[in-house]
Amino acid sequence: MVIDVEEERKEIINRYRRLLRKAKPILKEGDAKLIKRAFTISMEAHKEMRRKSGEPYIFHPLSVAEICVEEIGLGTTSIIAALLHDVVEDTDIQLKDLEQIFGKKIAKIIDGLTKIKGVFEYGTSAQAENFRKMLFTLSEDVRVILIKLADRLHNMRTLESMPRNKQLRVSSETIYLYAPLAHRLGLNAIKTELEDLYLRFTDYPVYRDISNKIDESRASRNKFIKQFVQPIKEELDKLNVECEIKSRPKSIFSIYNKMRKQNIPFEEVYDLFAVRIIIDTPLEQEKSYCWQVYSIVTDYYTPNPDRLRDWISTPKGNGYESLHTTVMAKNGQWVEVQIRTRRMDEIAEKGYAAHWKYKDNGSSHESNLEKWLVKVRELLEKQDLTALEFVDDFRGNLFNEEIFVFTPKGELKTLPIGATALDFAFDIHTDIGAKCIGAKVNQKLVPINHTLKNGDQIEILTSSKQKPNEDWLRFVISPKAKSKIKELLKEDKRNVADDGKEILLRKTKQLKIDVSSRVYEQMRDYFKVNSQFELHYRVGKGLITLNDFKRFKEFKPSSPLKNKAHSEITDVKSIEQEINKVKGRYEDILLIGEDMDVVEYKLAKCCTPIPGDEVFGFVTVNEGIKIHRTTCPNATELLANQGNRVIKAKWTSQHEVAFLTGLKVIGTDRVGLINDVSKVISEELKVNMSSLSFKTDQGIFSGEIMLYVNDTRHLEMLIEKLEKVEGVVKVSRFDSRNNNG
Ligand code: MN
């Protein structure tokens, strides 16, 4: 490439002058001098550098500064920072040099911009983390983020000359973070442009196709609109209202989204464009004028009452004000009509940047700008929708299985949605999890089963006396915490059993019971436990005491256990136990009422409880006591309105009885998947299925399986196994087969 140095110099000066011209209305005395200084330093610093396109590097900072002024509405401080934004990063000039010349404020902004730059070079996996860091830097000065947006916009505009992989990376980062950010700040024109550029660089054929079709349909669209607005315009003229009627097609990206979401061709996107009526009114009469226009429009065309949006009475969070209605045109086509004033229109396009122009005319640009910057920070810090949530919003269903939370030091942790403080504790370290007694979430004390939300900052409280227990398994949801707790419980159980074994041997010795394997067997029968281990464990736990051993000794010689049990059936409890024993099953049952008795019950069909579930009993009119899960869809109603018929119920421990429950399986469809799923259920885990139904839709399959399991732990195991089947994405329990149980 032959470079005409003289030509280039002229072009640089031209661009610099253009920047000054655009900034002129807002410059104070001395500002121009400072800007010139910044420009000179930047030009000197980037002297030898060229962009990938071959252009002199200085074009870039000049353009960024221009975007800051023209499209975002920033002032001198930002112009200087934008001109210098790549200087510290790319050249020998140091921050302290710049601070000396331009002062602390500007140096800080440049520092922020340099840091953010580093942060964004990591690639896509740590985006949320990057985003958080970006917000941290924000607390210094929100200009950092606005200049960064300008920087990104210019980089996207000039992405053509970048290598393909970089185009893809920069584009996806843009659609992931910057476009939503611009939207959040009400910078709609920038947001739309970023989105369109994203599509252009990620799917050019589609981009070109849509953009061609928009061009091709222009003539007929204009004709249609002319007819459509004709009567409205006449009415407005009669009223002497100055107005401009525009019709802008939707952005390429939003048309693309519509086509994809609704799976329709371009021709079927019915709301390709909206008609915008912009009126000039005095500030005080904006609202009434807009509604007057609305009234005129709907005199001629029938409105769809569901599509009326009044963002004048209550503007959107990002400052958007407008009145929208969708009406039926004479040819039967729905047309969206946006009614707004000139002021509202500028805000809609440029965000708050336009806003300050209209605010109290007495104050200077600088002070209005400061007000706006405060507003920007408020927008970003708004509690009801944190930046992270808004990234989540954007990412939609794809990633909303996760939440982002922070350690006291600000380290980011990713947990599954629904995770509790205990999940978080185990995520930090097993020892911390094992000793966790509670947590402080955003400085507030909460129990260990407290469910975490996006953006929470958590400090775990521990005690050396704490020990994991079975209950914990019910409210942790991360696989890591689950498996660690199980491990710890097993270990704990083993220790208890070891102790129990010693105790047993000591006590039996004391009572002169000779513990042969036959006697062990008798003890197991007598104490109704499954195994020697279980026996040791119960002794270790203190559930079987010296007195029990005494009774065992008295009982043992006289009659063999099995006969005795059969002869002593006196109450419901022992009947139940007998039945279980006959079935070859041990333990345990549902205890009902204040005395925790065993009485007859039925399991509710609406929520199909199984042992291990939190349950309650409900006295029905005709069918005795029904057992519901506390999470049953009917529970709230029953507990709230008919509390007098609710009785306490509790499982004593796990059965080997089978209980019917339902599982929902979701995944990506593939050949043989259903087969693999049923194989896991019936063969590997020897579970009985009672019914199985699957459906597939566009490559996603979802299935509902009704099956028999022993208890919640059995169910968890099954879920774990099923989730390992290739293609399965999520397995969850579902509990309302019908709601009339
Ligand atoms: Mn840059």
pLDDT digits (tens, 9 = 90+) for 308-340: 888 898 777 667 889 999 888 887 778 899 999
pLDDT-based confidence at residue 572 (cuts at 50, 70, 90): very low
Quote the CA–CA distance of 152 and 42 in Å, as a whole number. Answer: 19
Residue length, the chain? Answer: 741
| More confident call, 544 vs 646 | 544
What per-residue confidence (pLDDT) applies to 138?
A: 54
What per-residue confidence (pLDDT) applies to 656?
A: 46
Portion of the chain with pLDDT greater than 90, in percent: 21
Q: Separation of 111 CA from ligand 1 center, angstroms?
A: 13
pLDDT above 50 (res 584): no
Average of per-residue pLDDT across 248-267: 87
pLDDT above 70 (res 561): no
pLDDT digits (tens, 9 = 90+) for 491-529: 888 888 898 989 888 888 888 888 777 888 888 888 888
Q: Which of 207, 200, 199, 180 is nearest to 191 (CA)?
A: 180
- Return mean pLDDT, the chain: 78
Q: Which residues are catalytic, by number?
A: 89-90
pLDDT above 50 (res 391): no
For the ranges 299-308, 362-371, 602-611, 628-637, the lowest mean pLDDT is seen at: 362-371
Q: Separation of 156 CA from ligand 1 center, angstroms?
A: 11
User: Helix, strand, or coil here: 514?
Assistant: coil
pLDDT above 70 (res 106): yes
pLDDT digits (tens, 9 = 90+) for 65-89: 999 988 888 889 999 999 999 998 7
pLDDT-based confidence at residue 101 (cuts at 50, 70, 90): very high
Q: How far is CA 156 from CA 66, 203, 676, 706, in A?
A: 15, 15, 47, 52
What per-residue confidence (pLDDT) applies to 256?
A: 92
Q: Separation of 375 CA from ligand 1 center, angstroms?
A: 25
Q: Report which DSSP code applies to 681.
A: I
Q: Separation of 85 CA from ligand 1 center, angstroms?
A: 6
Quote the CA–CA distance of 297 and 285 in Å, as a whole number. Answer: 19
pLDDT-based confidence at residue 655 (cuts at 50, 70, 90): very low
Quote the CA–CA distance of 546 and 503 in Å, as a whole number. Answer: 9
For the ranges 14-28, 103-117, 144-158, 356-370, the lowest mean pLDDT is seen at: 356-370
Is the CB of residue 673 less than 8 Å from the CB of residue 727?
yes
Is the CB of residue 701 less than 8 Å from the CB of residue 668?
yes
Q: Which residue has the tokens 């709301």?
A: 271
| More confident call, 492 vs 669 | 492
Residues 6+ apart with CB under 8 A from 1: 54
Portion of the chain with pLDDT greater than 70, in percent: 78
For the ranges 447-461, 551-565, 612-626, the lowest mean pLDDT is seen at: 551-565
pLDDT above 80 (res 260): yes
Quote the CA–CA distance of 677 and 60 in Å, as a whole number. Answer: 56
Quote the CA–CA distance of 537 and 556 in Å, as a whole number. Answer: 22
Q: Separation of 151 CA from ligand 1 center, angstroms?
A: 5
Is the CB of residue 484 less than 8 Å from the CB of residue 428?
no
Q: Each residue of 571-583: b (16+ CB within 10 Å) or e?
A: eeeeebbeebbee
Q: Separation of 443 CA from ligand 1 center, angstroms?
A: 39
For the ranges 267-276, 328-337, 643-652, 715-724, the lowest mean pLDDT is seen at: 643-652
What per-residue confidence (pLDDT) applies to 581?
A: 42
Q: How far is CA 670 from CA 54, 135, 701, in A?
A: 49, 42, 9
Quote the CA–CA distance of 460 and 206 in Å, as a whole number. Answer: 50
pLDDT-based confidence at residue 294 (cuts at 50, 70, 90): very high
Q: What is the largest CA-CA distance in the chain?
A: 117
DSSP string, 284-352: GGHHHHHHHHHHHHHHHSEE-GGG-EETTTS--TT----EEEEEE-TTS-EEEEEEEEHHHHHHHHHTH
Q: Separation of 320 CA from ligand 1 center, angstroms?
A: 29
What per-residue confidence (pLDDT) applies to 517?
A: 79
What per-residue confidence (pLDDT) applies to 139?
A: 54
User: Helix, strand, or coil here: 146?
Assistant: helix
Q: Separation of 697 CA from ligand 1 center, angstroms?
A: 45
Q: Which residue has the tokens 């227990």?
A: 469
Average of per-residue pLDDT across 3-12: 87
Average of per-residue pLDDT across 227-241: 89
Average of per-residue pLDDT across 33-61: 91
Residues 6+ apart with CB under 8 A from 495: 540
Quote the CA–CA distance of 497 and 532 in Å, as a whole number. Answer: 9
What per-residue confidence (pLDDT) applies to 389?
A: 44
Q: Separation of 147 CA from ligand 1 center, angstroms?
A: 9
pLDDT-based confidence at residue 112 (cuts at 50, 70, 90): confident
Average of per-residue pLDDT across 559-587: 39
Amino acid found at 475: F
Average of per-residue pLDDT across 296-301: 91
Average of per-residue pLDDT across 473-485: 88
Q: Separation of 455 CA from ligand 1 center, angstroms?
A: 30
Is the CB of residue 276 less than 8 Å from the CB of residue 246?
yes
Q: Separation of 113 CA from ligand 1 center, angstroms?
A: 9
What per-residue confidence (pLDDT) applies to 528?
A: 83
What per-residue confidence (pLDDT) applies to 566?
A: 36
pLDDT-based confidence at residue 393 (cuts at 50, 70, 90): very low
What per-residue confidence (pLDDT) applies to 352?
A: 61
pLDDT above 60 (res 2): yes
Delineate the domains of the chain, giving CATH numbers in brackets.
5-209 (1.10.3210.10), 213-367 (3.30.460.10), 487-557 (no CATH), 572-651 (no CATH), 659-734 (3.30.70.260)
pLDDT above 90 (res 152): yes
Q: Each residue of 236-274: b (16+ CB within 10 Å) or e?
A: beeeebebebebebbbbbbbbebbeeeeeebeebebbbb
What per-residue confidence (pLDDT) applies to 685?
A: 64
What per-residue confidence (pLDDT) applies to 402?
A: 65
Q: Separation of 86 CA from ligand 1 center, angstroms?
A: 6
What per-residue confidence (pLDDT) applies to 690?
A: 67
Average of per-residue pLDDT across 579-605: 56
